[in-house]
Structure formats: structure tokens, C-alpha cells
Amino acid sequence: MSLRINDIAPDFTADSTEGEIRFHEWLGDSYAIIFSHPRDFTPVCTTEFGAVAQLAAEFEKRNTKVIGVSVDSVEDHRKWKNDIAQVAGVPANFAIIDDTSLTVAKAYDMLPAEYYLPGEGRSPADSATVRAVFIIGPDKKVRLTMTYPMSIGRNFAEILRALDAVRKTDGVPLATPANWVPGEDVIVALSLDDKAAAEKFGPLDIRLPYLRYAKDPA
Ligand code: BEZ
């Protein structure tokens, strides 16, 4: 069964480029983004890890730790980080987990459908993790998931935008409209009537009885 929104993110202990990680303890009071990729030393993955390396300061500003996962070893990850730095122009200073045991891949259901076929004829490529993304909250709950196929590199600007939306709506009766970016108006949940909504979030822009915007309470 795959992980669902609001499930507790599975805890794990794993070796990584930054040493042993006990996931829940490592998470502490931060948000986390776990993102898996098929293999080290492959073209799309190298561009993706470079993109994450370039966004390091943005994730830090958002109190968010980033962790990469693949079925390769720490030794490979360390060598591959040199290539990532060469392509990205900045070092990849985030942890990459050694998941040669497939512990994390199985716990987070990061393996492709082929992995689950009867063993005969399964190749090592079938045990490579897919391009999965999990945003985890400080309460250890899964807040958002995305899965991309092997051939399509992820849009990390969108992942950052989604992280902003998750943090904006956490614990408050707000939601974000399509294509929202920080600073734009947000939607007030229907759990508040107009009066209570205006008292809490200021003047409302009521487009429909169920579509009420308030200024981004930045
Ligand atoms: C890539 O990242 O380019 C890639 C990864 C696994 C298989 C094929 C390509």
C-alpha cells in the first residue's frame, strides 16, 4: 500500500553521505523533502541533484531539510557529488542515502511496477527507485507526494512553490488557489463564516459564496 497524505512518514535508520541518519530524530522540528532518483551517474538525475544543490539556501530559509535516496552506495554518492558540483557550479551539501538494501525504497513505495513482478527475468534496472518526492511536516506526517517517470526531470521550482503552500496552510483554515505563489491572495476555508473569516484574515474578496479570498497573511 502506498503512502497517503497524513500518514506518518516511515521512520528508518540508514547510512548516508553525512553519516548515519535516524530519520525521525534527524527531522527534529523541520520540514523535510525526501526525493528518490533511479541511479547515480545518470544524466537526468545529475541535473536534478544540481538543481537541488542550487536551491540549498531557499530550503534552509524554509526550515526544510533535503535528503536524496537511491539504491546506490555512499561510496558512489560521494564520487557522484563531484560531477553534480561540476554541472551545478555549487557543491551538493545535502545528504544522499545509501539504500542498497532497498529499506527506504520499500518503506516509501519508491520502486517501479516491474519490481513487483514475479522474480524471473527481473533486471537490476527494475529495482531502481522512481523519481518520487515526499514533503514531510515537523509532525512527521506526509504532506505531499509526487511521482515522475524515469524520462522526466522534476521541476524543483514547483516543489519549492508546493512547499511554500504547505507551510502557508499548515494549521490554519486557509488553502491556496491554482498556480499560487507567495504574496498572492489565499482562499479562506468554509469552516469560517464570512464574519469570522474577515475578523481573522481581514477584508474578503468574495467571488462566490464558497470562493473567498484574503490577503496572504505573510
Ligand atoms: C537519468 O537520470 O538520466 C536516467 C536514470 C535512470 C535510467 C535512465 C536515465
Please list the pLDDT of the chain residue by residue as tens digits (218 residues): 689 999 999 999 999 999 999 999 999 999 999 999 999 999 999 999 999 999 999 999 999 999 999 999 999 999 999 999 999 999 999 999 999 999 999 999 998 887 777 665 666 677 788 899 999 999 999 999 999 998 999 999 999 999 999 999 999 999 999 999 999 999 999 999 999 999 999 999 999 999 999 999 98
Rg of the Cα atoms in the chain: 19
Tell me if 43 CB under 6 Å of ligand 1: yes
- For ligand 1, is residue 121 a contact (CB within 6 Å)? no
| Cα–ligand 1 centroid distance for 66 (angstroms) | 21
Q: What is the pLDDT of residue 43?
A: 96
Q: Is 206 in the pocket of ligand 1 (CB under 6 A)?
A: no
**CA distances from residue 154 to 15, 82, 103 in whole angstroms, order as listed:** 25, 21, 23
What pLDDT sits at residue 114? 78
Model pLDDT, residue 112: 84
Beta pairing class for 186-188 and 205-208: unpaired
Find the catalytic residue in 14, 45, 53, 71: 45
Give 123: exposed, middle or buried? Use CB within 10 Å, 0-12, 13-18, 19+. Answer: exposed
- pTM (2 decimals)? 0.94
- The answer to whether the CB of 27 falls within 8 A of the CB of 140 is yes
Is there a contact between 133 and 161 (Cβ–Cβ < 8 Å)? Answer: no
By CB atoms closer than 10 A (0-12, 13-18, 19+), residue 118 is: exposed
- Find the 208 Cα to ligand 1 centroid distance in Å: 46
Contact 68, 38 (CB under 8 A): no
Cell triple for 6: 497524513
- The amino acid that residue 156 corresponds to is F
Q: 72 C-alpha vs ligand 1 centroid, how far in Å?
A: 13
CA of 151 to the centre of ligand 1 (A): 7
Evaluate: CB of 161 within 6 angstroms of ligand 1.
no
Verify whether ligand 1 is closer than 6 Å to residue 124 (CB atom). Answer: no
CATH 3.40.30.10 boundaries in the chain: 13-154
pLDDT score recorded for residue 60: 97
Nearest to 155 by CA among 9, 30, 35, 18: 35
Q: What is the pLDDT of residue 169?
A: 97
pLDDT value, residue 193: 97
CA distance 64 to 202: 29
Any ligand 1 atom below 6 A from CB of 42: yes
- For residue 1, the model assigns a pLDDT of 60
Distance 35 CA to ligand 1 centre (A): 15
Do 214 and 177 form a contact (C-beta atoms < 8 A)? no
Which CATH superfamily includes the segment(s) 13-154?
A: Glutaredoxin (3.40.30.10)
Atom of ligand 1 nearest to the CA of 47: 2
* Count of CB atoms situated within 10 Å of the CB of 119: 5
Q: Is 59 a catalytic residue?
A: no
**Strand-by-strand arrangement of the 95-98 sheet:** 95-98, 64-70, 31-36, 131-136, 142-148
